[in-house]
Amino acid sequence: MMSIQRKNTTNEDIYDDYSTQRFPENKRDPMWKVLMVQIGGFVALSQFMLGAELGYGMTFHDAVLATILGSVILQFISYGLGLAGQREGLPTSLLSKWAGFGTFGSAIVGLTFAISLIGWFGIQNSVFAQGVVQILNSITHHNINYQLIATITGLLVTFSVIFGFKGLSWTTNISIPAFIVVMGFATYNMLKGNSLNHLVTMAAPGAAMGLGAGITMVTGNFIVGAIIMPDITRRTKNGRDVFWVCVIGTLVGELGVNVIGVLMAHAIGSKEIMPIIYQLTGALGIALIVLSSVKVNDMNLYSASLNVVNFFRQVFKVNLNRSVMTVITGILGTILSVIGLIDKFQGFLTILGVVFPPIAAIMFVDYWILKTDRKSLAISRTKGELPKTSSKLPVMTIVAWISGILIGQFVTWGVQSLNVLISSGLIYYLGNLIIRKASKQFTKNKELED
């Protein structure tokens, strides 16, 4: 198998990190390397923003409980999809073609990811702009216009993606270390000025948030990471590595970072991340956070434009210019930041917690329970290739996805994201059983007639 993979590998495949074929067995990484990538994904501004949002509206106990329950709900799905990615050596975009979505369906999934990434671009750009405004205000002692700065920063990142400014590439090497240093310093100052017991036992400083809403926010923040787990775990060597990457990554990243965010919101009495960082670390901390967010948004925009281009290629057979699409998606994300998307962060996470769980449920049920394309995947895997054919757009996929979203939107009891996950998975499973049974009966009747 390895010789076939080497034979079929091109320079383009290597450059694109084998995004269009199976990841070679002989190039898999040790567990700790993949784990570092997973933890790095959690040690990010968005995770601290979630922790601060939870801490502002919940007690420490309830915020931690919401984080644990939200993470546990998705841990099972995350591990299942991650194990499928490891076994097949495929990223989510390819795996979904043979895990319930087909050619067109996988393109629609990519478009949905693109839309969410444009939203994340808007939120990250808002934080970027707020940081610049905070620094400029402290230097000039004037009120700098946020909308103007957000427009400039958004367009700056947009054109950096188009032209590939090498001057921004160095931010990758310092983004995570800088972020860890700032948060470590902020945590030190927070604990120096506040009793830990007081922060843990105090009431929430803001309007109360229910446990169900908190869990849905946690799953909304984590769900995309759960779905794209195959992107990371396809590089692992075995299922045991996948398990530890999922468990340790979640404990250190999701729970650890959230706890610090909750405590900071309690200490400062705010859910706005930049005022929290400014009070705890000053202008230098703000500058490092801004710097660390540049490359994250760079990748958000790059991935969003790539998914949009792929959608039009797969569905409409139209080849769009990626540079043009980068400008369009960048402008859309910039507009979202200018009009204040960051003020709707809770609502944004709630939407993600309703729209994306059906994707995870459908892929999980199809790959592990219904096993629709497992035979063709297994045969092609022995040859180091991809299956030659895939379905276009399975009807039950659309039915289960839309039904799950509607249930999440209109069923008010319980936890939204959990309702969506269970209902969409059940609808997809039962619907396919009915279709298969009806198909067998139709074939049997046809044979009797002949």
Q: Tell me the residue type at 259.
A: V
Dist. CA 275–CA 423, nearest whole Å: 40
DSSP for 211-269 reads HHHHHHHHHHHHHHHHHTHHHHHTTSSSHHHHHHHHHHHIIIIIIHHHHHHHHHHHHHT
CA 290 → CA 128, 129, 133, 263, 362, distances in Å? 5, 8, 11, 22, 37
Tokens of 339: 């009009």
Dist. CA 206–CA 209, nearest whole Å: 9
Q: By the 8 A CB rule, do 80 and 88 touch? A: no
pLDDT digit string, tens, across residues 81-131: 999 999 999 988 889 999 999 999 999 998 998 999 899 999 989 988 988
pLDDT, residue 107, reads: 92
Tokens of 322: 């990626």
Q: By the 8 A CB rule, do 328 and 211 touch? A: no
pLDDT, residue 82, reads: 95
Dist. CA 238–CA 245, nearest whole Å: 11
Give the Cα-Cα-Cα angle 267, 269, 275 (nearest 5 degrees). Answer: 95
DSSP state, residue 366: I
In the chain, which stretches have pLDDT less than 70?
1-17, 163-174, 450
pLDDT, residue 160, reads: 78
Q: How many CB atoms lie within 10 A of CB 112?
A: 19
pLDDT, residue 159, reads: 84
- CATH says 29-449 is which class? mainly alpha
pLDDT, residue 181, reads: 86
Where would I find the H helices in 141-210?
Answer: 146-163, 166-169, 171-193, 196-201
pLDDT, residue 335, reads: 96
